[in-house]
Every structure is written in C-alpha cells, then in structure tokens.
Structure 1
C-alpha cells in the first residue's frame, strides 16, 4: 500500500511540473489517503502483535 502512495505522489509531482493542476491535486489527495490508511493499519498491526506477546516484525 505504501508503494501505491509513493506512485501517486510521483504522479502528482510530475503532473504539477507539467502544469496539470487538477490531476496533481487529485493524485496528491489519493497519495495522502493511502498513506494515512497505511499508517493506521501499521499501528493496528503493531498493537495486535504486542498484545499477543510476539515481537513485532518490522
């Protein structure tokens, strides 16, 4: 999921460089949403792993 966020971020940067404001804003928004979903899933996974007594695999 983090890979997709990075891909959309790169698309947003490239679109902004070439002047496509709408595409850049949309791609940046998607990248932001995917990044926050990744962070939330990572935190939940870490908490569940710690609650079970296993060491987290980072």
Structure 2
C-alpha cells in the first residue's frame, strides 16, 4: 500500500516537473517573440514605408 502511494506521488511530481519545464520554455519563447516583433516594428517605423507603385 505504501509503495502504491509513493508511486502515485512520484508520478504526480514528474508530471508537475514536466509541466513546469514546458511553461518555462513557452515563457522564454514568448519573450523572445515579443522582442523580435518589437524590433521589426521599430525597424519598419525608422526605415519608412514606400507607397506601392512608386
């Protein structure tokens, strides 16, 4: 009985560890994506857009 409870606790712990790693990666990816998007917007604003046909 004790081994079954410990096994369930280990499985829950591993699942939470994997979820934590996934959320950490997603947070990092979100920050990198926001920085890249901000850079593109800033570059476009500084460069200026040409009208189509000119």
Q: Flag the structure with more relative contact order, 1 or 2, with Cα contacts below 8 A and sequence separation at least 6.
A: 1
Q: How many residues align?
A: 37
Structure 1 runs of 4+ off > 6 angstroms?
A: none
What residue in structure 2 maps to residue 37 of structure 1?
A: 32
TM-score by length of 2: 0.64
**Partner Cα separation in structure 2 for residue 25 and residue 38 of structure 1:** 20
Unaligned runs of 5+ in 2: 1-11
Q: Is 1:26 aligned to residue 21 of structure 2? A: yes
TM-score by length of 1: 0.60
Q: Can you list the C-alpha shifts for 1:6-32, whole angstroms capped at 9, x where unaligned?
A: xxxxxxxxxxxxx41000000000000
Unaligned runs of 5+ in 1: 1-18
